[in-house]
């Protein structure tokens, strides 16, 4: 079977590997049809992904078709189309016991810590498959991407009519916006890139965008009502942005860090306390997030049409990649077709 391997930073190869020969109990054999590429994959390619070892088969944003099932109690059956929840958790640790497998002590993400979906066939636990025979294969591959934003918005417990400031309009920020809107709240988006902000206004139904190069507190005070946002979701992974959140938040508000970086965050305690700030991290997504996203796409509440900007067949991926990496390529989501 066709398999794309990242051998070392900057070096992919395509090979013909042996197909899986057995499907263990509780598992399904699935055929990969779509693989979305995201920031994690770019970091691995550039050698900047922490705790990453080579060689590795990437691919954690997957639209698949079920080939065989070895699990009598499974919801999935042969021929079903599914999104894959790529977070392999132990099921035993304190987080797993409390229903938080997304932050399992021993979490292994398919395509990051374990070989993923950039190959024609993979074997996955049946309970990690989320079926929809209504969504397209592209949409199924986008569910994991959207899961990052869906989970962050759930962490913030966003309510109707509140103003939510989304910092950063890269793919993570874009994944946050539809779920803020689905909660009936108003998404205000800030970024340093004019073209990203224009994209939000044109394609994501965002009415208000702010220039993050300027004084954000001042711009926020000019908005109708004049109150600071009651929730801030930082999707930048940029330390100055993350530390600035504490000055931009309404009293009694919540901050969610969904973007991350390898370092320390500090803040002024009186500033934090005065507001009785709630500070939360958001990591990956839960099974319920996958189910909810599938339902919202099926119902037309979440529109996936703006997302996929670039695509290539599995055979053409390696030669196409350098074009996607140029700064003016404007990639939001690149998709690999395994057909």
Q: Tell the smallest beta-carbon distance from residue 8 to Zn ion (Å).
A: 21
Least distance between Zn ion and beta carbon 147 (Å): 9
- Residue 104 in contact with Zn ion, rule: CB under 5 A: yes
Are 35 and 62 in contact by the 8 Å Cβ rule? The answer is yes
The region of 72-80, 86-94, 235-243, 331-339 touching Zn ion under the rule CB under 5 A is 86-94
Q: Which stretch binds Zn ion (CB under 5 A): 71-79, 80-88, 101-109, 245-253?
A: 101-109
| Positions in 109-148 near Zn ion (CB under 5 A) | none
CB-CB contact of 130 with 124 (8 Å): no
Of the two residues 103 and 243, which places its CB atom closer to Zn ion in the complex?
103
Minimum separation from the CB atom of position 148 to Zn ion (A): 7
Judged by beta carbon, residue 40 or residue 70, the one nearer Zn ion is 40
Closest distance of CB 36 from Zn ion, Å = 7
Task: Render the burial of 165-184: b for 16+ CB within 10 Å, e for the rest.
Answer: bbbbbbbbbbbbbbbbbbbe
Q: Which residues in the 17-56 window bind Zn ion by CB under 5 A?
A: 38
Contact 89, 107 (CB under 8 A): yes
Name which position in 3, 5, 83, 89 contacts Zn ion (CB under 5 A): 89
Query: Do the Cβ atoms of 37 and 139 come closer than 8 Å?
Result: no
Selected from 62, 96, 245, 255, the binder of Zn ion by CB under 5 A is 96
Pick the closer one to Zn ion by CB: 209 or 304. 304
By CB under 5 A, what part of segment 297-326 binds Zn ion? none
User: Least separation, in Å, of the C-beta of 39 and Zn ion?
Assistant: 7
Nearer to Zn ion, 36 or 229 (CB): 36
Q: Which is nearer to Zn ion, 60 or 196 (CB)?
A: 60
Minimum Å gap between C-beta 112 and Zn ion is 9
- Structure-token pair, residue 63: 């639209």
Listed in sequence order, the residues at least 6 apart from 74 whose beta carbon sits closer than 8 Å to its beta carbon are 28, 126, 127, 129
Q: By rule CB under 5 A, what count of residues binds Zn ion?
A: 6
Shorter beta-carbon distance to Zn ion: residue 30 or 38: 38
- Token representation of residue 222: 């000019």
To Zn ion, the closest distance from the beta carbon of 2 in angstroms equals: 21
Among 1, 68, 93, 182, binds Zn ion (CB under 5 A): 93
Residue 282 is a binding residue for Zn ion (CB under 5 A) = no
Q: Are 306 and 331 in contact (CB under 8 A)?
A: no
Does an H or E element contain 287, and which? helix 287-298
**Phi and psi of 333, rounded to 5°?**
-140, 120
Pick the stretch among 91-99, 280-288, 295-303, 306-314 that binds Zn ion (CB under 5 A). 91-99
Q: For residue 264, which phi and psi values (nearest 5 degrees)?
A: -110, 145
Question: Cα 188–152–312 angle (5° rounding)?
Answer: 90
Work out how close the CB of 92 gets to Zn ion at its nearest, in angstroms, rounded to a whole number.
6
Choice between 6 and 96, CB closer to Zn ion: 96
CA atoms of 186 and 170, how far apart (whole Å): 18
What b/e readout covers 231-265, taking b as 16+ CB neighbours within 10 angstroms?
bbbbbbbbeebbebbbebbbeebbbbbbbbeeeee
Tell me if 216 contacts Zn ion by CB under 5 A. Answer: no
Distances (CA, A) of 28 to 1, 24, 68, 137: 17, 8, 6, 18
Contact residues for 323 (Cβ-Cβ < 8 A; gap 6+): 329
Closest approach of Zn ion to the CB of residue 150, in Å: 13
Residue 76 engages Zn ion in binding (rule: CB under 5 A): no
CA trace torsion 172, 178, 179, 182 (10° rounding): 180
Interface with Zn ion includes 90 (CB under 5 A)?
yes
Q: Which residues bind Zn ion (CB under 5 A)?
A: 38, 89-90, 93, 96, 104
């Amino acid at each position: 079977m066709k398999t794309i391997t990242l051998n070392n930073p900057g070096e992919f190869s395509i090979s013909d590997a042996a197909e899986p020969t057995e499907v263990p109990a509780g598992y399904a054999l699935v055929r990969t049809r779509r693989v979305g590429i995201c920031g994690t994959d770019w970091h691995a390619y550039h050698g900047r992904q922490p705790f990453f070892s080579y060689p590795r088969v990437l691919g954690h944003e997957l639209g698949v078709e079920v080939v065989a099932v070895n699990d009598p109690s499974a919801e999935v059956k042969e021929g079903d189309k599914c999104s894959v929840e790529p977070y392999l958790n132990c099921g035993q640790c304190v987080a797993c016991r409390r229903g938080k497998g997304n932050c399992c002590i021993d979490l292994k993400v398919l395509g990051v810590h374990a070989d993923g979906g950039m190959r024609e066939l993979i074997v996955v636990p049946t309970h990690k498959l989320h079926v929809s025979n209504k969504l397209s294969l592209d949409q199924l591959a986008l569910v994991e991407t959207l899961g990052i934003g869906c989970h962050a918005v759930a962490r913030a417990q966003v309510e109707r009519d509140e103003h939510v400031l989304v910092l950063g309009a890269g793919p993570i920020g874009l994944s946050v916006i539809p779920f803020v809107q689905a909660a009936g709240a108003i998404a205000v988006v800030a970024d340093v890139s004019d073209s990203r902000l224009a994209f939000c206004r044109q394609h994501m139904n965002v009415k208000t965008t702010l220039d993050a190069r300027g004084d954000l507190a001042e711009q926020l005070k000019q908005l109708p009502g004049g109150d600071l946002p009651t929730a801030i979701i930082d999707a930048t992974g940029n330390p100055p942005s993350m530390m600035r959140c504490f000055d931009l938040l309404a009293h009694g508000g919540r901050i969610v860090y969904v973007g991350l970086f390898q370092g320390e965050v500090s803040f002024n305690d009186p500033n934090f306390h005065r507001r009785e700030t709630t500070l939360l991290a958001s990591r990956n997504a839960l099974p319920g997030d996958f189910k909810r996203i599938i339902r919202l796409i099926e119902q037309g509440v979440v529109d996936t049409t703006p997302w996929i900007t670039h695509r290539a067949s599995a055979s053409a991926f390696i030669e196409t990649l350098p074009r996607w990496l140029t700064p003016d390529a404007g990639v939001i989501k690149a998709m690999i077709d395994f057909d």
